[in-house]
Amino acid sequence: MDYLPIYLTLTDKPCLVVGGGGVAERKVALLQRAGARVHLVAPALTPDLQRQADSGAIEWRRGVFEDADISGRQLVIAATDDRAVNARVSELCQTRGIPVNVVDNADLCSFIVPSIMDRSPVLVSVSTGGASPVLARQLRARLETLIPSTYGRLAAMAEAYRDRARQAIPDEARRRHFWEEVLQGPIAEMVFAGRDDEARQALEDALSGKPAARAMGEVYLVGAGPGDPDLLTFRAVRLMQQADVVIYDRLVAGPILDMTRRDAERYYVGKEKDNHAVPQEGINQLLVDQARQGKRVLRLKGGDPFIFGRGGEEIETLAQEGVPFQVVPGITAAAGCASYAGIPLTHRDYAQSVTFVTGHLKAGDLDLNWPALVQPRQTVVFYMGLTGISVISERLIEHGMSPDMPAALVEQGTTPNQRVLIGTVRTLPEIVQQAGVRAPTLTIVGEVVSLHEKLEWYQAEEHVPGTVFSSHGQAGRG
């Protein structure tokens, strides 16, 4: 081990930064986060540092570095582009035993600054000893995905109960086991879900020796997004990897399902036209039953659970049955598919509003507010509209939309198999038939579709570039 990792208390301590450029600005910000009183010496400052000096947030001496500048300092950072100055700062500090860091020169440092993940009071630092700062930042970024931002609140709660725990559980081994259960069990999950009062009450009950209620699990209602695993949120990934049971839909992409625990029980409850693997009422009851067995239940839904995902119906049942739950939003298909197709849903020159509607047929027709859907300068996105595409085309035209209004079909959006097919409202049914379009496919109608050719950026692996159709339904290149 080339360096001993330590954490310094710098609250209200005088620290010096030599230099006034962008690097110095970052070091000043770091010291301020640690509560230090920052002194700066430099001939000139960046605009932000100048504002801080003018407001008194930092103390600045205009000029070049002098030996006396290090007097009384608890810590010094040299951040100039003058090697001789940096070397002089290092020599003086090390002679007098003052911790010194010279940016990008490990040989002149008595300490180095690691890459820091701040979950105060939890701090995680990663260092390569100066060998590769970029690698240290990459490792920290990976840790960011694993450690919730709420860990700081969990640590603060544990600190508040340390003395109580020491009195209630004198035996050190038992007390350690108690905290292990708290910090990785239901109480911790309550904090992560924002239920701090409930977590504190549970901790009070545990310390007072109150018998625990019958173990109740929890349901995680998680939006899996439109298909690309990289679009999952940090919280979604964390909950996916700790769930005991996975209940998933047809629209959940295989690579996303593979990110769940391998030993978790899996239940497929997908729905297709006229073919529901499990009725909605059965899904609701399955969630309740599994949670009552004390299991952590992942309800994984394509897109966002609250946009045509029946998430509201499911958590309504959970709330009625007293089952704890969390809801994790996902990127809805409209946002994800439109982005990957290079079609902005709103644009100052084309559309000032966007409407999401379901295109699912009922008794062979669509009961929609058609006049509201043909308003000018609006984008309309149809979910589940492939079967009813002819009806959609006919009704929009009947209610006043131009037959030549640009329209797009995005098949398997955000995945390597994505296809973008461009036409008009009139030609949509013809495109679907000729191109053999299959679900899942999203339909986008509006002037913004005309921007696809200019803004297309995502190149799907099997369709490069995306196949498009002209307004007459003829295949072309886009």
**What are the C-alpha distances in Å from 409 to residues 21, 68, 126, 178, 388?**
50, 70, 46, 55, 13
The answer to whether residues 227 and 413 touch, using CB atoms and an 8 Å cutoff, is yes
Annotated active-site residue 263? The verdict is no
Is 236 marked within a binding site? Answer: no
**What are the C-alpha distances in Å from 187 to residues 170, 181, 244, 264?**
21, 9, 17, 22
Domains contained in the chain, CATH given: 14-113 (3.40.50.720), 151-208 (no CATH), 218-331 (3.40.1010.10), 334-477 (3.30.950.10)
The answer to whether residues 112 and 129 touch, using CB atoms and an 8 Å cutoff, is yes
Annotated active-site residue 271? The verdict is yes
Is 226 marked within a binding site? Answer: yes
Is 129 marked within a binding site? Answer: no
**Catalytic residue (one of 69, 228, 249, 295):** 249
What tokens were used for 411?
A: 């098949």
**Catalytic residue (one of 271, 289, 349, 367):** 271
With the C-alpha atoms ordered 217, 221, 227, 232, is the resulting torsion angle positive or negative?
negative
pLDDT tens string, the chain, 478 residues long: the values are 788 889 999 999 999 999 999 999 999 999 999 999 999 999 999 999 999 999 999 999 999 999 999 999 999 999 999 999 999 999 999 999 999 999 989 899 999 988 898 888 989 999 988 788 889 888 988 888 778 888 899 999 999 999 999 999 999 999 998 998 898 888 888 898 888 998 999 999 999 887 655 568 899 999 999 999 999 998 999 899 889 999 999 889 899 999 999 999 999 998 665 555 688 899 999 999 999 998 999 999 999 999 998 999 999 999 999 999 999 999 999 999 999 999 999 999 999 999 999 987 766 678 899 999 999 999 999 999 999 999 999 999 999 999 999 999 999 999 999 999 999 999 999 999 999 999 999 999 999 999 999 999 998 875 444 444 433 333 333 3
Is 78 marked within a binding site? Answer: no
Is 23 marked within a binding site? Answer: yes
Is 147 marked within a binding site? Answer: no
Q: Angle, nearest 10°, between helix axes 311-320 and 280-292? A: 40
Q: Quick count: other Cβ atoms within 10 Å of Cβ 199? A: 22
- Closest CA relative to residue 406, chosen from 314, 358, 341: 341
